[in-house]
Structure 1
Amino acid sequence: MSGFRDVTGHERTIEHLKNAIASGRVSQAYLLVGDKGMGKKTIAQAFVQTLQCETLERMLEQEQESPGEKNSGTLPLQSIDACGTCKSCRQAETNNQPDIMVWRYQKETSISVDDIRALVSDVQIKPYASRYKIYILPDAQKMTREAQNALLKTLEEPPEYAVIILLSTSRDAMLETILSRCVVLPLRPVDAAKVRSYLMDRHGVEPYKADICVAFAQGNIGRAVALATSENFYSLLERAIQILTHVKEWDVSDIVVLIRDMDRGKDVVNDILDLFSIWYRDVLLFKATRDADGIIFREQIVQIREAAQKSSYDGIQRILDAIRTAKIRLKANVSFDLTMELLLLTMKEN
């Protein structure tokens, strides 16, 4: 990581953070909100590395002392980034910068009041070598109500050197009193073309595989990378296509066993359901346009065409609705077998 230049997408969030640094109006509390894999930690790390960059700090000081004729003493935003070469940047890139802390918790399932009290105590110690002392709190949605209340006083009256960055998958998990004291930055899905380019340029993913991963990820670049770099990707894809092309002729109970045997983890089942959704969106698109250009599963165009001929518009929509319902049921721990049987019956009948 070398600052903002290595972040793909999230231009509005990055612009906000760069403006804060350029103007010297850095907030003492931020909340980055987005699904797992959206880039919350990546953006936070780029921000804090830039904030602590010694080279940039000198440039900002010089600009304030002798501003140019056409500006107000602030550097242009394209200049606001970590240099990657100063002592602080090198330390940050190896996770050894003493004034940048990613806070650790006693348990994985929740963040307790004791975890936060330890942070509150540490905040009182001044920075070792930098202007700021920065805390990144991953999974902030796991803070108990008591833990959030323990953090509240520090957010209300923080030392001038402290910057606290909360990373959360849910805004609703945070107390209103916490939200009111943070600059809340919701992360939006990254443009599909940028995700595709990222997969191909950074990870060497072939175009067909990249297209499927982009459609699968829906703007979540971390999710796209996880699928694209998975050793089981083609196995997962082949099994999903096998089910989709034979669902009408195979026995439902046999397919349920097939899916369960792939992996008992919920993530894999959700991945299969997402691939099902992409397939049926392709079927719906081809049925409406008779054009293969926008199809994700291009290598299965014969099967897509056949499915479009056999299914009605209402039938395809019922299947897509059933897939969404299945995901909700699995998240709520409804019986796996029952959930999948109901979904597969809908797929067979439509």
Structure 2
Amino acid sequence: MKFENIFGHEDIRTQFDELIKNKRFPHAIILCGEDGIGKSVIAREIASKILNKSEIREYADLIEWKILNDKKSISVDQVRKIIEEVNKKPYEGNNKIIVVHDMDSMTIQGQNAFLKTIEEPPVGVYIILLCKSQNRVLDTVKSRCQIYKLNRLNEDEIRKFIDIKYNITNEDEIRTLLAFSDGIPGKVDEFLNDKDLKEIRNIVINAILNIKNLNPKKIIECANKLSEYKKLWHEICNYFILYIRDALIYKETGNKDLLINLDKIDDVKKVASQFSMKQLNKMVEAVNYGQLNLETNVNMPLTYVEMLFKIQEV
């Protein structure tokens, strides 16, 4: 990837360029921002420039560490391996960059084991820690790093991203992507490329459209189907809310330009015609209740069953 193909974060990237140019880049930094905001890309850009490379790709002295596939966190054992890598000499030049993804998922024991290395890495070694939230990163770790927060892209930046990467020109489709991205380019990629998310959207809208005709067996089947997407429960609830929200707005204003699901406008109109404002607001309450239970790890299939029955009863 060429540096000019990176979208947004101009101010912070310029700041990094100046630090690298003047050989004042910190030995350890934390890049904080939501998933899909561009942390990994910015980290690789920093690494490429420190290594005096002209583009972003794999390099021998750019080492990235992620949570192992069968694990939920970065353990002390994995941290020990990271520390071993930190202390190895660079392969090609005088510099080496260690990028640790999901730092906020590193165990407390792991963070404590990593402290000394973060504070005093070998000369020429730069450590970049990526996290979604600083809340789960120890204060002792944060105090040893420079912290930089990546903000959401503005509409013009997201439009440019959509245009250059996907060459989409249909304004209704662009506006749908703008709404779902909420300033996060990675969400555009997910919306267009993630088959699971496409399937979930279809399940959700079909459930809302047909909820009055679903017998208990069908509701349980729908709940079980949704439960197959265990890690996407937040997206499932969000899709319910967004469809109902669009139906409320269309019912009140009749203005499709205010809708998010413009690619599903016919379905939104059907929902708006089937339910009253009071019923739609009750649906929102049912989904919010379901989301609250999911956040507190209540049984997932049971939560979806209860939520769907509440929607049916409005």
- TM-superposed deviation, 1:278: 1.6
Q: 1:311 aligns with which of 276, 281, 289?
A: 276
CA deviation profile, 1:165-222 (whole Å, cap 9, x unmatched): 0112221111100011112222323334543543453135574555444433433322
Classify 1:271/1:122 alpha carbon distance in 2 versus 1 (closer, same or farther; 3 Å).
closer
- 1:102 and 2:64 matched: yes
Amino acid at match of 1:40: K
Normalized against structure 1, the TM-score is what?
0.76
Normalized against structure 2, the TM-score is what?
0.83
Q: Which residue of 2 aligns with 1:201?
A: 164
- 1:266 and 2:230 matched: yes
Instruction: Show the 5 A alignment for 1:18-37.
Output: 18-37=17-36
Q: Which residue of 2 aligns with 1:53?
A: 52
d(CA) in 1 for partners of 2:5, 2:210: 43
Classify 1:123/1:239 alpha carbon distance in 2 versus 1 (closer, same or farther; 3 Å).
closer
SS in 1 for 2:136: coil
Q: 2:111 aligns with which of 132, 148, 153?
A: 148
5+ residue gaps, structure 2, are none
d(CA) in 2 for partners of 1:326, 1:268: 14
- 1:238 and 2:237 matched: no
Instruction: Show the 5 A alignment for 1:303-342.
Output: 303-305=267-269, 307-308=271-272, 310-312=275-277, 315-342=279-306
d(CA) in 1 for partners of 2:254, 2:139: 50
Q: Which range is displaced more, 119-128 or 334-343?
A: 119-128
CA-atom RMSD in angstroms: 3.0
d(CA) in 1 for partners of 2:83, 2:199: 48
Instruction: Show the 5 A alignment for 1:2-151.
Output: 2-3=2-3, 5-53=4-52, 83-84=54-55, 93=57, 95=58, 97-103=59-65, 108-151=71-114
d(CA) in 1 for partners of 2:94, 2:87: 14
Classify 1:130/1:335 alpha carbon distance in 2 versus 1 (closer, same or farther; 3 Å).
same
- TM-superposed deviation, 1:306: 5.5
- TM-superposed deviation, 1:269: 4.6
Contact 1:205–1:228 (Cα < 8 Å) also in 2: no
Contact 2:173–2:262 (Cα < 8 Å) also in 1: no
SS in 2 for 1:216: helix
Classify 1:145/1:336 alpha carbon distance in 2 versus 1 (closer, same or farther; 3 Å).
closer
SS in 2 for 1:272: helix
Classify 1:315/1:21 alpha carbon distance in 2 versus 1 (closer, same or farther; 3 Å).
farther
Q: Which range is displaced more, 230-239 or 219-228?
A: 230-239
- TM-superposed deviation, 1:264: 0.9
| Structure possessing the higher radius of gyration over alpha carbons | 1
SS in 2 for 1:110: coil
Q: Which residue of 1 aligns with 2:141?
A: 178
- TM-superposed deviation, 1:18: 2.5
Q: Which residue of 1 aligns with 2:218?
A: 254
Classify 1:201/1:335 alpha carbon distance in 2 versus 1 (closer, same or farther; 3 Å).
same
Q: Which range is displaced more, 293-302 or 173-182?
A: 293-302
Amino acid at match of 1:203: Y
SS in 2 for 1:111: coil
d(CA) in 2 for partners of 1:13, 1:322: 41
Amino acid at match of 1:311: S
SS in 2 for 1:247: helix
Contact 1:199–1:228 (Cα < 8 Å) also in 2: no
Q: Which residue of 1 aligns with 2:308?
A: 344
Q: 2:190 aligns with which of 217, 221, 226?
A: 226
Query: Percent sequence identity over matched residues?
Result: 26
Classify 1:20/1:324 alpha carbon distance in 2 versus 1 (closer, same or farther; 3 Å).
farther
Classify 1:109/1:195 alpha carbon distance in 2 versus 1 (closer, same or farther; 3 Å).
same
d(CA) in 1 for partners of 2:92, 2:121: 19
Amino acid at match of 2:161: Y
Classify 1:98/1:226 alpha carbon distance in 2 versus 1 (closer, same or farther; 3 Å).
same
CA deviation profile, 1:231-289 (whole Å, cap 9, x unmatched): 45654433322222222343355234124236612245543322222212212333443
Amino acid at match of 1:215: A
- Alignment coverage as a number of residue pairs: 311
